[in-house]
Structure 1
Amino acid sequence: MRFVCRDFGVSDLPRRGLTPSEAPLEVLLLDIDAELTVWDDEHNLWSEEMFPVAELAYWLMHWLRSPDVGTRDFELDSMSAEPGLIWIVQSEEGWRVGSSLEPDVWTSPVTWDLLVAGVRQFVRSVHAGIVELGIDPAFIPEP
């Protein structure tokens, strides 16, 4: 299981009349987007353009740092869409990733360690994409 992002952008910031340094946290989380693809082994499970990847990275890192991590499922309750854009749930076989965008499609189960490694790699790639936009990624916790 892995998340892959490409084509980072901040298409709504200019429309809002804001620069990245002026934008409040909630605007940065919503407006920094990219094409997000979820892979399972070598299979592309689903892809979504203009996905709020900064928001996903932000909430995933908060989830990983919560006291009950590893015992509680994750659901992205995005400020821009219905809850469930990303689900990470524990099953008897391991952890699986799914989305309300494709509710019948789930990754194969992975161990907790592989899941955490995939999440951390995703957050590192979001940090790198944000830096390429010329924005300081400090608002998203380090992986």
Structure 2
Amino acid sequence: MEKWQKDFLELIETAVDEVERLFLEVTTTVETLFELSGEFSEHLHNTIVTEVEQYLADLNDDVDLDSYWHLDDLMDDSEISFPYSVEPTPQQHPACMGCQHYHGQVYGGNLMVCAMHPYGWDDSNCPDWEAEEFEF
């Protein structure tokens, strides 16, 4: 082997060694960074949890929350209702009959007629009335 070939081979080996050393240093640095960030996030989490628990304990001492926890016991199960549909009739909301905007759902005892006129229109001719579109 000639001298320039040996020099070139040594140069390549040196470059490989340096790149390997660089990767080892980067790996060590990244591992250290992950360890430090893990410790920092754990410390931060513990600090925040402690402060929030202390704040809630102080709030509980200041306000009598026990009276609020039992409010659901006061509600009668019959008062809880699910939305149901109501169709317009000539006696109730005649302007809404056949209108595509009619919603007709009862929420908590309150009828939602449509978005434009939540309580319905007073007479039999609504200015926003549009015929229902049926899709087949």
Whether the TM-score (by the shorter chain) exceeds 0.5 is no
Tell which has more relative contact order, 1 or 2 (C-alpha 8 A, sep 6+). 1
Higher helix share: 2
Greater Rg over alpha carbons, structure:
2
Higher strand share: 1
